[in-house]
Amino acid sequence: MPIRMSGMVSGLDTESIVKELVKVQQGRLDKIKNKQTKLDWKTEKWQDLNKKITNFFKDSLTDMRFESSYNTKSATITNSSIGTVKALTGAVMGNHSLVVSQLATTQSWTSEKIKAADGSAATKETKLKDLVDKNGSNALSGITSGELTLNVGGVDHTIVIDKDNTTLGGLLDQFKNAGINANYDASQGRIYLASKGEGADNGFTLTAANAENNVIGTLLKSGHVEDAKNAKFSLDGVNYETATNSNTINGLKIDLTGVSEKDINDEYKPTTIRVQSNTDEVYKKIKDFIKSYNELLEEMNTLYNADAAKGYEPLTSEQKDEMSDDEIEKWENKIKDSLLRRDEYLDNVISSMRESIIGVHAKGSDGRETSEYISLGNYGIGTKNYLEKGKLHIDGDKDDDVTSGEPDKLRAALESDPDKVAKDFSTIFGKMYSAMNAILNDSNDYKSSQKFYNDKQLKDQKTNYEKEYSDMEKKIASLEDRYYKQFTRMETMMQKLQDSTGNIQGLTGGM
């Protein structure tokens, strides 16, 4: 801002006069500034709330839409050396007998130690015809150009051999491309081949189109050979043979890690798997979810139904100087707490959550809705007071003063028919998930995807306010400049008049 020397002749406080003349425009500028401040506060409020809603959606609700999340059963195994076990929703309660006679294995070939024909360590760049065994015998010197057939899991793959150029690394790369693990460990001087999957059906064979190249396969398995095997075990007296050690049978997920011990009669000893109820854990999980839902809903209801902050505007620096820190904080919080009052986007989230959790019609095997209506109310979960605006209570919850004396329908259902509880709750919360996901993924001119509020619109408003503020600043500066120029001309004219009067007085001798 330029330094202006004014009022030197007239004696007027020009700066104060100009300030009064632009007072109306300055007031408009202050209002724009207030709008900017409140918009920034509103954006911060929404960003914080959006994070909380998103966390609830992704961390709590997402998990509750799966039936597996309500599994009330747990399983233990008496001999953990032969495997681990997990009880799924359909597992049968009680004791089960497990006997493991064979684990599923991968097929593997290990060569004897090899080296280069000149006695140096072989590398992946060493040509096949230049490889010798530990005794110095050059078994591959007579190979010819041609093809090998590598059969992996019943599928043939062609391996091309160039007698003068194929290297050890080139051969292994072809094996890898065909679907088996292939490696050369230079520190050990051995080649290692292995099938990628367990079980006999995942094994491999290597054959040559001519007798001269059969020596390649002979060398590759000269150290040690392990054939691919299927797992063999029995569960509750029923024999199974599978290509993998990880199996799910009748609601039990069994991962085999060892073979059963044998008794003195050389018979395998059975191991006991015990499946029992785990109602308390699932009950707590549902209770914790309802608590999270209530806390989020209460915060959103408080913001949506907040009192209006009529007459409250962001404080100026001068106003803050006259107030204590506590008074400033209370004043500003009054404004901040009202910024999402009757917000249409917040109303949309609240409505979607409350309406979707009420209930839903069950679907039949054909995917169509049936007459059966699934609701949380069937399990003693619902609202109790309209003033709580959708807060949920669980009948019989000992930690809830409102419903602790009611029969505990949820616990009774978990104990009597846990599978139905899992199906019904995953259906209800799946509906809420779909409703919230639709809002979250919606993108338009006002909001972005992965946002629950009008972030684009708020950003556009901020840009508009910044332009409006800048334009008003320029207008005020232009007005001030015009007024100062007018006062300067007045001062100049007064100075000339004063000078003329002095001259006349001088000519008349001060008469």
Spatial contact of 54 and 440, defined as CB atoms under 8 Å apart: yes
**How much is the pLDDT for 7?**
56
**How much is the pLDDT for 364?**
62
Q: Taking the model in full, what pTM does it have?
A: 0.66
**How much is the pLDDT for 366?**
63
Spatial contact of 202 and 228, defined as CB atoms under 8 Å apart: yes
- In this structure, what token pair is assigned to residue 239? 């024999």
Fold of the 108-226 domain = Alpha-Beta Plaits (3.30.70)
**How much is the pLDDT for 479?**
84
Sign of CA dihedral 486, 490, 491, 493: positive
**How much is the pLDDT for 502?**
63
Cα 326 to chain centroid distance, Å, stands at: 39
**How much is the pLDDT for 141?**
82
**DSSP strand pairing (231-235 vs 238-242):** antiparallel
Average pLDDT for consecutive 10-residue bins of the chain (511 residues)?
55 74 79 92 97 96 92 91 92 94 96 91 93 84 89 94 92 96 95 95 91 87 94 97 96 97 95 92 95 97 95 90 94 96 96 87 67 88 93 95 94 89 91 94 94 95 92 84 79 76 62 51
Going from N- to C-terminal start, the domains of the chain cover: 25-67+282-305+341-441, 73-104+230-277, 108-226
Strand locations in 154-249 (E): 155-161, 180-185, 190-195, 204-208, 224-226, 231-235, 238-242, 246-249
For residue 54, what are the contacts with CB-CB under 8 A and spacing of at least 6? 440, 450, 452
